[in-house]
Amino acid sequence: MVDVGANIGYYSVLGAAAVGSQGKVFAFEPEPANFSLLEENLRLNGIRHTKAINAALSVENAPSTLFLSENNWGDHQIYSRGETRRQVSIDLVRGDDILGNAISRIDLLKIDTQGAEFKVISGLENLIRQSLPELSIIIEFWPFGLKKAGDHGLQLLDLLASFELPIWMIDHLGHALHPCSIAELREWVDALDADPDNEGFFNLLLSSQGNQF
């Protein structure tokens, strides 16, 4: 499992339990306070087969700035929204570069990076394609955030479509998965383009095993 935007490690801990001692979890979290809690959660749960990395996956290897939310530790962003936010310096790393020599495939990829998802997948594309069709991807789809990061929802949809995996919308309230198509998602993005202040988002599962989740 690769957990991108691991925060304090909730999903990393669950993933480590799921893969067992013979599996491996790579957890990426750039924000220092969250990263410390991530490491502590792994220690408290006795997890040794997870590697925590204090960096943000992206399309390049470079220094960058993270703009911190004071109210929501899950809403730190790699772009400025014109708000007054405390800033910290972070490292961007390209996924294919940092993971390419460590693993040959990914079974589960989870990405929640507040709008940086297109950059994350672009930098990890080689390893993703090596992992198809068995790979499952859980990803936040937030067109507003993608735009703020300099990308577009349609760009991300084009890239996801190229993986040729079935797509499911995750219904957290109903605890269900609903199949959806790229065409339906495109229509939704087009509607959001007409309302630039709309910050609607949802989470997607891309997997040929969606009905087993």
Q: Which amino acid is at 62?
A: A
Position 34 pLDDT exceeds 70: yes
Q: What is the mean pLDDT of the chain?
A: 93
Quote the pLDDT of residue 77: 79
Which residue is it, tokens 């962003």? 77
pTM above 0.95, yes or no: no
d(CA 202, CA 143): 10
pLDDT by residue (tens digit) across 96-146? 999 999 999 999 999 999 999 999 999 999 999 999 999 999 999 999 999
Specify the CATH class of 2-212 in words.
alpha beta
pLDDT by residue (tens digit) across 87-106? 899 999 999 999 999 999 99
d(CA 32, CA 89): 10
d(CA 56, CA 64): 9
